[in-house]
Amino acid sequence: MFDEKAFENRLTTSWLGQDFIYVEQLDSTNSYLRRAESDKVGHGTICLTDHQTHGRGRYERKWVTRPSANLTFTIAFKPSRVAGLHVLTLASALAITETVDQCLDVECDIKWPNDIYYKNKKLGGILTESVFTGNQIDRVLVGIGLNVNQEKFSEPIDQTATSMYQIAGGKSFKREPILAGVLQRIEHFYSQWQRFDVKLLKAINRRIIGYGEWVSLQVGGERYDGKCKFLGINEEGALVVLTSNDEIKTFSYEQVHITTD
């Protein structure tokens, strides 16, 4: 079981995760914070569970993990602006890659727009959702699944998923300090995001698979003609490429898939 006391002792943030909701079992941490009344969810509130029964990924995919083995949580932000929200997802991915790297002495990557990879295998994923009151944004929910101590995965994802346990060659990790490390970094990146600090974009870009390379793109399921040079993400979190016709094009979050083959 997640040890709340041990986590509190390791937490060094000033606002992120100071309001911490632990629920032993629930459907989905994103759904939990989505259902909650606005005044019960502050900026930086976190909900974490040990057993998520209806974990969700992007495109209505399921997110299934072994109970008590991994980190399964959602952060609620109440940002003062909505522009560039996708950068927040990527900033969270950056925080995870840096924390995992420090624990394992490896280099993980961000797979645009929302995954954490190690050597072609998925180590974690992020589901970002916005909650509106009328047409006003009330909160942004950044739901994070990080495979920490899962020894094995069932078919078909056994071929494509990995965990810190597997990367470390069969070593288990305490989840509480990992979460504290991730949150400390996210808090720092959040303040950079608020200030439009270009250092944040640069740090994200350096970590994204394919950055600066000629890549193949799939746009809306169709393969885009010719290779494109991946110039990075912009302040909106959109993908910027140079096409083989020397045009600069940007693609939004949902449209595109990158492959580096």
**DSSP secondary structure, 153-197, as one string:** --TTGGGTB--HHHHTTS----HHHHHHHHHHHHHHHHHHHHTT-
> Is residue 125 involved in binding ligand BTN (CB under 6 A)?
yes
Nearest-approach distance from CB 74 to ligand BTN, in angstroms: 5
Which of 41, 136, 149 is closest to 80 using CA atoms? 136
Stretch in the footprint of ligand BTN (CB under 6 A) among 7-15, 28-36, 190-198, 223-231 = 28-36
Nearest-approach distance from CB 128 to ligand BTN, in angstroms: 9
Task: Answer left, alpha or beta for residue 29, where phi above 0 means left and psi between -120 and 50 means alpha.
Answer: alpha
Nearest-approach distance from CB 247 to ligand BTN, in angstroms: 30
Give the binding-site size for ligand BTN (rule: CB under 6 A).
19
> Is residue 163 involved in binding ligand BTN (CB under 6 A)?
no
> Is residue 89 involved in binding ligand BTN (CB under 6 A)?
no
Nearer to ligand BTN, 63 or 190 (CB): 63
Q: Give the whole-angstrom CA distance, residue 80 versus residue 85.
A: 11
> Is residue 206 involved in binding ligand BTN (CB under 6 A)?
no
> Is residue 63 involved in binding ligand BTN (CB under 6 A)?
yes
> Is residue 113 involved in binding ligand BTN (CB under 6 A)?
no
Nearer to ligand BTN, 72 or 166 (CB): 72
Nearer to ligand BTN, 53 or 250 (CB): 53
Please give the backbone phi and psi of residue 23, each rounded to the nearest 5 degrees, phi first: -130, 125
Nearest-approach distance from CB 52 to ligand BTN, in angstroms: 6
Nearest-approach distance from CB 166 to ligand BTN, in angstroms: 17
Contact status, residue 261 vs residue 114, Cβ threshold 8 Å? no
Nearer to ligand BTN, 143 or 237 (CB): 143
CA distances in angstroms from 47 to 6, 28, 111, listed in the order given = 16, 10, 25
* One-letter amino acid of 101: D
In this structure, the number of other CB atoms found within 10 A of the CB of residue 143 comes to 29
Per-residue burial over 209-233, b if 16 or more Cβ lie within 10 Å, else e, is: bbbeeebbbeeeeeebeebbbbbbb
The two tokens of residue 11 are 């937490």
Per-residue burial over 107-116, b if 16 or more Cβ lie within 10 Å, else e, is: ebbbbbbbbb
Nearer to ligand BTN, 111 or 228 (CB): 111
Q: Which of 11, 16, 41, 56 binds ligand BTN (CB under 6 A)?
A: 56
Q: Which of 7, 16, 20, 28 binds ligand BTN (CB under 6 A)?
A: 28
* One-letter amino acid of 160: T
Q: Give the whole-angstrom CA distance, residue 242 versus residue 214.
A: 9
> Is residue 57 involved in binding ligand BTN (CB under 6 A)?
yes
> Is residue 84 involved in binding ligand BTN (CB under 6 A)?
no
> Is residue 58 involved in binding ligand BTN (CB under 6 A)?
yes
The binding site for ligand BTN (CB under 6 A) comprises 28-30, 55-58, 61, 63, 72-74, 115, 125-127, 143-145
